[in-house]
Chains A and B, each alone.
Chain A
Amino acid sequence: MREIRVKMGEIELTTIPGIVLTTPGLGSGVGMGVYDRKSRMAGMAHIILPDSKILQDPEEDERPYKYADVAVSALLGKMLSLGAKKENLVVKIAGGIDAFNFKENSEIINIGGRNVKAVYNAINEMGLTVANADTGGSSGRILKLNALSGAFYLKIIGKKEAEF
Chain B
Amino acid sequence: MTKIIHDILEREDNLPCNFHIAIQVSKMLDDFNVSIDKLAKVIGTDQALSVKLLKYCNSAEYGFSRKISTVNDAIARLGFKSFKTIVFTIVSKSSLNREIRGYGLKSGEIWKNSISCAFYSRYLAELTDYVDPDQAFTAGMLRDIGKLALQEYVENDFKNIINAVNNEKIPFFKAEEKTLGVSHCHIGALLAERWSFPQVLVDAVKYHHCPEEAQRAGCEDTDLVNIVHLADYLALILGYGIGTDGIMYELDMTSVEGLGFNLTCENMELLIADIANNSNEIESLISNIE
Min Cβ gap A134→B in Å is: 14
**CB-defined contacts of B251 to chain A, threshold 8 Å:** 99, 101, 109
Size range of the chain A interface in the assembly: 35 or more
- B209-265 contacts to A (CB < 8 Å): 233, 236-244, 246-251, 253, 263-265
Is B60 an interface residue, CB under 8 A from the partner?
Answer: no
Q: Is B273 a contact of A54 with CB atoms below 8 Å?
A: yes
- Which A residue's beta carbon lies closest to that of B277? A63
Q: Is B269 a contact of A54 with CB atoms below 8 Å?
A: yes
- Which B residue's beta carbon lies closest to that of A112? B237
Q: Is B279 a contact of A97 with CB atoms below 8 Å?
A: no
Q: Is A108 a contact of B238 with CB atoms below 8 Å?
A: no
- B165-212 contacts to A (CB < 8 Å): 169, 171
Min Cβ gap B36→A in Å is: 38
Q: Is B246 a contact of A140 with CB atoms below 8 Å?
A: yes
Known: A7-B279, A97-B246. A111 touches B272 (CB 8 A): yes
Q: Is A108 a contact of B277 with CB atoms below 8 Å?
A: no
Among the 9-residue stretches A23-31, A74-82, A83-91, A125-133, the one with 4 or more Cβ atoms under 8 Å from chain B is A23-31
- List 8 interface pairs A-B (beta carbons < 8 Å), by A numbering: A27-B239, A29-B237, A29-B238, A97-B237, A103-B250, A108-B264, A140-B243, A140-B247
Give the interface of A toward B (CB within 8 A): 7-9, 24-29, 48-51, 54-55, 61-63, 66, 97, 99-104, 107-109, 111-112, 114, 137-140, 157-158
Other than the given A26-B239, A139-B247, 13 more pairs (CB < 8 A) read A25-B241, A27-B237, A49-B269, A54-B266, A62-B277, A63-B277, A101-B250, A102-B169, A104-B253, A112-B237, A114-B265, A138-B248, A157-B243
